[in-house]
Amino acid sequence: MRDPKETTVDDLARRLGLKTNPQIFFTSAGLMVLILALLLIFPASIGDGFAAARTWVTTNLGWFFIFGVTVWLIFLIWIASSKYGDLKLGKGDEVPAYTRVSWFTMLFAGGIGTILMFWGVAEPISHFTTPPFPDVEPYSAQAAEDAMNVALYHLGLHTWAIFTLPGLAFGFFIYRYDLPMRVSSVFYPFLKERIHGPIGRTIDVFAVLGTLFGLAVSLGLGTSQISAGLSELTGVGDSVLVRVLVITVLTAVATTSVAVGLDKGIKRLSNLNIGMAVGMMLFVLFTGGATVFLLRSLIESAGNYLAALPSLAFWNDALANATQADGWGWQAGWTVFYWAWTVTWAPFMGVFLARISRGRTVREFVGGVLVAPTLFTLVWFVIFGWSAMEIDGIGGDGGPISAAVAESVPLAMFTFFENFPLTTLLQGLVIVIVALFFATSADSAALVIDMLCSGENDEGPVGQRVFWAVCLGALAALLIVLGGDEALPALQEVITVVGLPIFILVFAMIPALFAGLRAEKKRVEHGDPTVTPQEQIEIVEREDERHREEAARQREEAENGVPAAQQDDAEDESRQPTAGS
């Protein structure tokens, strides 16, 4: 008879009414609580540690981030255009659950809505005033063009490649192979049934913690923007306390959305928010007095971005050691930070995209997730970025928006709208949109993190999802406290360090995904319904082993000039005993 006081994690999960994998849930939750406690007790020491670690990562591995994301993009384009593009994320007869319009709004609002609101004006203006290339004059026409190219590089195809790769891998292995809704399932071709053991659980715990940190940084930036906007509208000082209060209120809103569920919560908020954001964008386009200029810039910026992309994709700032006092170079503070930050979203966005994309083909998924959001990003940056640079004066000495960005990056969008009619209304709308993006991101994250722990496609108990939403809000608040008045540099330090192990994990998805696609394509072509995808992987591995052995035999023949079979016979004869022995 079992001891009724036995306190194994399985018993504890049952007593608490949890529907999850207890090892993953309690390990992730315990580490998260420990991290929160350490941030509370030793904020200064932890801040110094992150600063030192970030210096090492950016100095020694910045090239890996930049080159790696470009490799992912090339791989995805090749996969989509190859013979594997017609395979489905799901069984052969499945159809998508959402229309293309709803699909797009859900993936965008659950993705980088907060980021575009924060950087839509701030990033082009930052590069306009401080060009990334040393031979370009600030505020010049060349500086404006370079600023737009770099902004689109940071939030265009490369960013969405970071989301597309894990999304494709999750959707393929989870729905085609009927594996658990976990990151570890992607590595089935390598780990086989060990994905259910300690190695798989370790991968999933890393994914949960990385997702929490990535979303917390994004919500921290969004909170900084909301706080700055409230300061502009009400005169209340933009302080750490105000930001923490904002996070508290928005976490409560997100928790309510979590309790409603995916279809009712995220879909409604996504559609509402995209509608308001598009409405605000069109208002700027048609009331700013530069409509024709912006339409011309839209076409030109698309061409400039595509022309500059090959160079930007491989630009590593290699001469930084010789030209920069700190040895980092411009890329370390921008591109490396962006990729490290974005990749921490990869587990969250990957599972979320897979869940809403079931039934779509590989080609449709890659094309939709890469291209549609990039086109929206292009339009967004052209309308807000070019408008801001035009207001400040291209070819001049800067203006109020540049001054605001130099003082406080979160002020950029609010200062921008001071140049339009209905200023107060528009500034208030910015706050509402950012707050709703906060809610949809936290809502989506809580759902996905719960799935990463449980491995189930169905929503778990409300209490589990609420727990993760609260953890996310608490972590964002503590990171804001850790950064103090200079929140952005502190957030950059944290996310650059946390992003490294997640980056390595996502990079390893490429060979795993290719192995799975290759095996499944052979299974489909063979047409044997009795062979499972898992069995087909083993069949392909055995075939590959035979091919390697045959290739080795042929190389041996070529080197010796004698067929391997004859050489083996000769060796056997030489070992036979002679008559006098």
Report how far residue 526's alpha carbon sits from residue 533's, in angstroms, rounded to the nearest whole number.
12
573 band by pLDDT with thresholds 50, 70 and 90: low
* 300-325 pLDDT per residue, tens: 999 999 999 999 999 988 776 545 54
Find the range with the poorest average confidence among 355-364, 475-484, 503-512: 475-484
Is the pLDDT confidence value at 269 over 80? no
How much is the pLDDT for 4? Answer: 44
* pLDDT tops 80 at residue 268: no
| Cβ neighbours for 350, distance < 8 A, ≥ 6 positions apart | 163, 165, 166, 167, 169, 170, 183
pLDDT at 482 over 80: no
36: pLDDT strictly greater than 90: no
Q: Which residue has the higher pLDDT, 122 or 448?
A: 122
Higher-pLDDT residue of 203, 116: 203
Determine the pLDDT at residue 579: 42
At 570 the pLDDT is 52
Least confident span in 20-29, 196-205, 259-268, 275-284 = 259-268
Residue that wins the pLDDT comparison between 29 and 104? 29
What are the phi and psi torsion angles at 361 (to 5°)? -80, 165
Contact predicate 409/488, CB 8 Å = yes
What does pLDDT average to over the chain? 83
Specify the pLDDT at position 515: 92
Please answer whether residues 22 and 10 qualify as being in contact, where contact means their C-beta atoms are separated by less than 8 angstroms.
yes
Task: Please say whether the beta carbons of 335 and 152 come within 8 A.
Answer: no
Cα gap 186→511, rounded to integer Å:
10
Label residue 2 by pLDDT band (50, 70, 90): very low
- The model's confidence at residue 280, banded by pLDDT at 50, 70 and 90, is very high
- Whole-number pLDDT of residue 566: 55
Token pair recorded at residue 483: 């950064």
Is a pLDDT exceeding 60 seen at residue 159? yes
Contact (CB, 8 A) for 358 and 178:
no
- Measured CA to CA, the distance from residue 2 to residue 26 in angstroms comes to 22
Query: Is the predicted pLDDT of residue 530 greater than 80, yes or no?
Result: no
Distance CA 257, CA 264 (A): 8
The mean pLDDT value for 233-245 works out to 84
Q: Which helix (H) or strand (E) holds 432?
A: helix 423-454
Q: 21 φ, ψ to 5°?
A: -85, 110
pLDDT over 70, % of the chain: 86
361 bridge partner residues: 88
Look at residue 83 in the predicted model and tell me its pLDDT. 92
Asked if residue 195 lies in contact with residue 184, where contact means CB atoms within 8 angstroms, the answer is: yes
Sign of CA dihedral 416, 419, 420, 421: positive
Tokens of 573: 């004869």
Identify the DSSP state of 129: H
CA distances from 375 to 124, 299, 302, 369, 396 (A): 17, 11, 9, 11, 30
Burial class (CB in 10 A: 0-12, 13-18, 19+), 223: buried
Enumerate residues 6+ apart whose C-beta is below 8 A from 280. Answer: 426, 429, 430, 433
* Confidence category of residue 557, pLDDT binned at 50, 70, 90: confident
User: Is 80 exceeded by the pLDDT of residue 1?
Assistant: no
pLDDT, mean of residues 66-85: 95
The per-residue pLDDT for 96 is 87
* pLDDT for 79 beyond 80: yes
CATH code for residues 17-509: 1.20.1740
What tens digit of pLDDT does each residue of 85-122 get? 999 998 877 888 888 877 877 766 555 677 788 889 99
Q: How far is it, in rounded angstroms, from Cα 140 to Cα 389?
A: 10
Helix (H) or strand (E) holding 473: helix 462-483
pLDDT value at position 279?
92
How many angstroms separate the Cα of 142 from the Cα of each of 297, 307, 374? 14, 15, 23
Considering only residues 530 and 412, tell me which one the structure prediction assigns the higher pLDDT: 412
Least confident of 181-190, 289-298, 457-466: 457-466
Please determine, for residue 171, whether its predicted confidence score (pLDDT) is greater than 50: yes
